[in-house]
């Protein structure tokens, strides 16, 4: 057992080295492409210098890199095992009576642990950075000549089991992380015992500011059916929204971290919105460790063919092709799940399970004949 333990530690170290190399290569490509695209979009602006472009690149890139992590595991693990194969180290392990299941297990276990870390720690961090990127990009575009002062009408909705409020604003902006709406109309409806919405009042306001727990309206005109309009300087309306959930419609869903998704799902459903995209994202994140393990097993299984038998390059190429196929199948399931064509749980878990089963099937065929 001691010998096997040392072998497993050695395989794990080679696997981590391969993953580090793949991560460095893919991260470099992502950041380069991101910087080029940002330079093309904002490089001509006098108020956006080189350091600002670098900052935007660093805010945007982590979310993209995390999305490509399945490829990092595919390429990294495959590179590690191909290297072990070329050095005849896999042959020595097999000659010592070590099963392929034993030296692939460290790669799969490491992938699963990294997947858990990705979901619980890296994803919330990348989501926060992505949200800051969206805010920075909005700030730049709002200050762009030809865009400043142009209205950007929005619709929001909030509510609970008793009241539903539809909010329309002719324009909006964010100062100091606080949401401001301009030219605001609020349509307040009560939910009857039978679940029917009954209109109760309409509120017009020159401006609305979202403070914690309520909207602060100014220059308000309020009207109810059959009554005259009543004017007031200020009015406070309870709100179930916060700065993030109010703007979620206009930001990428990648700006919502794993730990905030259950609350976001509950708020979307209470406001009468479809929560399918958020439930899909939640299920995909829960299945991420399994997907990483499946990609690792798949990559290792395609790298076990003995060098003297030939055809290792073709087999590795087939593994890469299958990995891309699974990735695009994952994107297809995501599109179908987001459109509620298939259940979000099925869309989130089917690709990881298929990847893992494909890896196990090939490993059984390679190892056990």
- Digit-by-digit pLDDT tens for the chain (369 residues) are 444 577 788 888 999 999 999 999 999 999 999 999 999 888 777 778 888 899 999 999 999 999 999 999 999 998 888 888 888 777 777 777 777 788 788 889 999 999 999 999 999 999 888 888 887 887 777 655 444 444 457 778 777 777 888 888 888 777 666 788 888 999 888 887 776 788 888 999 999 888 888 889 999 989 888 777 888 889 888 887 766 666 555 445 667 888 888 887 887 776 666 678 888 999 999 999 999 999 998 888 877 765 555 566 676 777 778 888 888 898 899 888 888 889 999 999 999 999 899 888 888 776 655
Do 219 and 166 lie in one domain? The reply is yes
Distance CA 333, CA 345 (A): 10
Distance CA 313, CA 302 (A): 10
Provide the whole-model pTM.
0.75
- Integer-rounded Cα Rg, in Å, for the chain is 26
Q: Is residue 84 part of a domain?
A: yes
Distance of alpha carbon 93 from the chain centroid: 39
Query: What 3-state class would DSSP assign to 198?
Result: strand
Q: How many domains does the chain have?
A: 2
List the structure tokens of 365.
């065929």
Mean pLDDT of the residues in the chain? 82
Please enumerate in sequence order all residues whose Cβ is within 8 A of that of 227, keeping only pairs 6 or more positions apart, or say none.
Answer: none
Do 130 and 171 lie in one domain? The reply is no
Domain that holds residue 114: 2-142+276-368
Query: Half-sphere exposure of residue 237, counting CA atoms within 13 Å on the CB side?
Result: 29
Do 191 and 76 lie in one domain? The reply is no
Asked if 298 and 73 count as a contact pair (C-beta separation under 8 A), the reply is: no
Picking from 189, 217, 239, the residue at the C-terminal end of a domain is 239
Do 46 and 127 lie in one domain? The reply is yes
Please enumerate in sequence order all residues whose Cβ is within 8 A of that of 24, keeping only pairs 6 or more positions apart, or say none.
Answer: none
Do 179 and 213 lie in one domain? The reply is yes
Q: Is residue 260 part of a domain?
A: no
Please enumerate in sequence order all residues whose Cβ is within 8 A of that of 51, keeping only pairs 6 or more positions apart, or say none.
Answer: none
The number of residues in the chain equals 369
Query: What 3-state class would DSSP assign to 362?
Result: helix
Q: Is residue 249 part of a domain?
A: no
Do 136 and 183 lie in one domain? The reply is no
DSSP 126-174: HHHHHHHHHHHHHHHHHTSTTTTT----EEEEEE-SSEEEEEEEEEEEE
Q: What's the Cα-to-Cα distance from 228 to each of 183, 201, 206, 291, rounded to whole Å?
A: 20, 11, 19, 61
Q: Is residue 329 part of a domain?
A: yes
Query: Half-sphere exposure of residue 316, counting CA atoms within 13 Å on the CB side?
Result: 21
The answer for 227, left when phi > 0, alpha when psi is -120 to 50, beta otherwise, is beta
pLDDT (tens digit per residue) in 249-282: 544 566 788 888 888 788 777 666 667 888 899 9
pLDDT (tens digit per residue) in 3-21: 457 778 888 899 999 999 9
Do 48 and 191 lie in one domain? The reply is no
Do 119 and 231 lie in one domain? The reply is no
Closest CA to 177 of 223, 210, 216, 204: 210
Do 282 and 135 lie in one domain? The reply is yes
CATH at residue 231: 2.60.450.10
* Cα separation of the two ends of the chain: 26
Do 117 and 178 lie in one domain? The reply is no
Do 9 and 138 lie in one domain? The reply is yes
Do 124 and 170 lie in one domain? The reply is no
List the structure tokens of 195.
């679940």
Q: Which long-range contacts (CB under 8 A, 24 or more apart) does 268-272 make?
A: 270/159, 270/160, 270/161, 270/240, 271/157, 271/158, 271/159, 271/164, 271/240, 272/157, 272/159, 272/164
Distance CA 263, CA 257 (A): 11
Q: Is residue 68 part of a domain?
A: yes
Q: Is residue 21 part of a domain?
A: yes
Distance CA 222, CA 225 (A): 10
Closest CA to 235 of 218, 221, 223: 218
Q: Is residue 36 part of a domain?
A: yes
Distance CA 89, CA 93 (A): 6
Distance CA 53, CA 37 (A): 10
Q: Is residue 288 part of a domain?
A: yes
């Amino acid at each position: 057992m001691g010998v096997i333990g040392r072998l497993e530690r050695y395989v794990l170290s080679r696997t981590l080295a391969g993953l580090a190399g793949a991560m460095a290569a893919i991260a470099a490509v992502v950041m380069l492409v991101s910087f080029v695209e940002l330079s093309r979009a904002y490089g001509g602006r006098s108020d956006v210098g080189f350091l600002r472009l670098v900052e935007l690149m660093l805010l945007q890139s982590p979310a993209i890199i995390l999305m490509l992590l399945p490829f990092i595991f595919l390429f990294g693990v495959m590179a590690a095992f191909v290297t072990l194969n070329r050095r005849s180290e896999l042959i020595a392990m097999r000659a010592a009576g070590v099963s392929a299941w034993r030296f692939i297990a460290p790669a799969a276990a490491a992938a699963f642990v990294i997947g858990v870390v990705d979901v619980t720690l890296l994803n919330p961090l990348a989501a926060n950075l992505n949200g800051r990127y969206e805010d920075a990009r909005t700030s730049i575009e709002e200050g762009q000549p030809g865009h400043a002062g142009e209205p950007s009408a929005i619709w929001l909705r909030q509510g609970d089991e008793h009241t539903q409020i539809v909010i329309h604003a002719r324009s909006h902006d964010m100062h100091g992380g606080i949401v401001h709406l301009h030219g605001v109309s609020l349509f307040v409806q009560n939910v009857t015992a039978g679940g029917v919405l009954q209109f109760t009042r309409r509120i017009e306001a020159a401006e609305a500011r979202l403070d914690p727990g309520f909207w602060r309206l100014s220059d308000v005109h309020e009207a109810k059916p059959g009554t005259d309009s009543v004017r007031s300087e200020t009015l406070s309306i309870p709100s179930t929204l916060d700065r993030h959930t109010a703007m979620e419609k206009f930001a990428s869903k990648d700006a919502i971290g794993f730990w905030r998704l259950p609350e976001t799902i509950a708020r979307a459903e209470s406001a009468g919105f479809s929560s399918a995209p958020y439930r899909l994202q939640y299920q995909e994140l829960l299945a991420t460790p399994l997907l990483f393990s499946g990609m690792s097993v798949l990559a290792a299984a395609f790298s076990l063919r003995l060098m003297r038998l030939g055809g290792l390059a073709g087999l590795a190429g087939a593994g890469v092709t299958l990995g891309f196929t699974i990735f695009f199948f994952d994107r297809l399931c995501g599109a179908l799940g987001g459109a509620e064509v298939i259940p979000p749980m099925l869309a989130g878990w089917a690709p990881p399970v298929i990847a893992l089963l494909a890896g196990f099937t090939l490993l059984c065929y390679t190892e056990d004949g």
